[in-house]
């Protein structure tokens, strides 16, 4: 997992061409003007999911992990906590869904990080994450999740 500010995005271009394309899309798109929804960048290899929601209490949430896609979670507006941990030997509370590309884990995160406007987190298939968590009270957040297909 990586957590940083968008002004440092170029530091992660070495992760590959798909990351360069995803960061360029984030840099050149006015997400404040975009509606919620899915936006293709490069078919099913790179796409963006624009979402708006109110943050929630961590007590009712679970961590998730993916196999097919890497997430770049970018905060357009607002701030939230994201719980995270390493995927080790944990047993999923909800088994992996091939069609939805996620599984859930009931364990509590080992770490929480605050993401504010202009920050991003990258979660690889080896990373558990619990996004959308309130810092204190629920607040509105607009976030873009770039999905980057894993190449194996």
The answer to whether residue 81 is domain-embedded is: yes
The answer to whether residue 126 is domain-embedded is: yes
The answer to whether residue 36 is domain-embedded is: yes
**Residues 99, 102: Cα–Cα separation, whole Å:** 8
Q: How many domains does the chain have?
A: 1
Which residue range(s) make up the domain with 68? 2-145
Confidence of residue 98 (pLDDT cuts 50, 70, 90): very high
The answer to whether residue 150 is domain-embedded is: no
Note whether 145 and 70 are within 8 A (CB).
no
Residue 152 has pLDDT above 70, yes or no: no
Give the model confidence (pLDDT) of 1-24 as tens digits.
999 999 999 999 999 999 999 999
Give the model confidence (pLDDT) of 33-69 as tens digits.
999 999 999 999 999 999 999 999 999 999 999 999 9
Confidence of residue 151 (pLDDT cuts 50, 70, 90): confident
Total residue count of the chain as it appears in this document: 152
Q: pTM for the whole thing?
A: 0.95
* Average pLDDT score over residue span 131-138: 96
The answer to whether residue 152 is domain-embedded is: no
Count CB-CB contacts under 10 A for residue 54: 13
**Residues 134, 114: Cα–Cα separation, whole Å:** 10
* Average pLDDT score over residue span 112-126: 97
Count CB-CB contacts under 10 A for residue 40: 10
Confidence of residue 123 (pLDDT cuts 50, 70, 90): very high
**Residues 41, 43: Cα–Cα separation, whole Å:** 6
Average predicted confidence (pLDDT) for the chain? 96
What CATH number does residue 116 fall under?
2.60.120.370
* Average pLDDT score over residue span 65-78: 98
Note whether 95 and 104 are within 8 A (CB).
no
Note whether 7 and 116 are within 8 A (CB).
no
The answer to whether residue 6 is domain-embedded is: yes
């Amino acid at each position: 997992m990586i957590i940083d500010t968008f002004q440092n995005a170029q530091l992660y271009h070495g992760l590959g061409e798909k990351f360069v394309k995803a960061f360029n899309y984030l840099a050149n798109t006015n997400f404040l003007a975009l509606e919620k929804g899915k936006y293709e960048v490069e078919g099913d290899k790179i796409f963006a999911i624009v979402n708006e929601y109110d943050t929630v209490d961590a007590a009712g949430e679970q961590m998730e992990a993916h196999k097919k896609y890497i997430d770049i979670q970018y905060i357009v507006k607002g701030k939230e906590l994201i719980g995270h941990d390493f995927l080790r030997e944990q047993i999923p509370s909800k088994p992996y869904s091939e069609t939805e590309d996620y599984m859930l884990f009931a364990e509590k995160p080992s770490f929480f990080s605050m993401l504010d406007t202009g920050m991003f987190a990258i979660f690889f298939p080896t990373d558990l994450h619990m996004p959308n968590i309130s810092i204190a009270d629920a607040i509105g957040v607009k976030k873009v999740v770039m999905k980057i297909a894993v190449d194996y």
